[in-house]
Structure 1
Amino acid sequence: MIRRLWMQLPKLVRFMLTHIANGMVLGCAFLFGMIWLDVWGLGTSLQKDESGLATFVLFFQTALTFGAVSMGIAVMHLGED
């Protein structure tokens, strides 16, 4: 059923959603790595946040940025072979 709905979307919408999702996954993986390695004390700072709001906002903004950049790069390369 999901595949049928996916195939009903226009080709360019599928193209954009695929690249946005790829960029978001890449952004989250990048951020996980930065937290795991405690780059600039990021992991330590996030441990002190009891509500989890800072972690959510950080992941949301990073995923949004990487997704938008990934989609932008993909759109700019549409005309190339």
Structure 2
Amino acid sequence: MLGKQWFALPRLIRFMLSHFADGVALGWSCGLMVLWFDIGNVGSLLAGMDSAVLTALFFATGGLMFGTLAMSVAVMNLREDTN
């Protein structure tokens, strides 16, 4: 059923959402690497916190930033239809 709803969306909206999702996945992957390799002691800092709010905020902002970047790069690389 989700496939029918996905293909019912306009083509440009599907294009933008798919590139946004790719960017969010890339942002979360980069965030995981920052935490795993403890770059700038970010992993140690977030591990020492009692609340998971900062970690969620770290991933939310990273995902939003990379998702928006990927979507905007994809839109800027669109070519004009010559038909």
Shorter chain as normaliser: what TM range? over 0.9
Partner of 1:70: 70
Name stretches of at least 5 consecutive residues in structure 2 with no aligned partner: none
- Alpha-carbon distance between aligned partners in 1 of 2:76 and 2:13, rounded to the nearest angstrom: 15
Give TM-score scaled by structure 1 length.
0.96
TM-score by length of 2: 0.94
The 1-side partners of 2:49 and 2:58 are apart by: 12
**Poorly superposed stretches of 4+, deviation over 2 Å:** none
Paired AA for residue 10 in structure 2: P
Which stretches in structure 1 are left out of the alignment for 5+ residues? none
- Which residue does the alignment assign to 1:49? 49
Count of residues in correspondence between the two structures: 80
Alpha-carbon shift at residue 63 of structure 1 (Å): 0.2
Partner of 1:8: 8
Q: Aligned residue for 2:61?
A: 61
Equivalent residue, structure 2, for 1:40: 40
Paired residue secondary structure (2:19): helix
Percent of paired sites with the same residue:
38
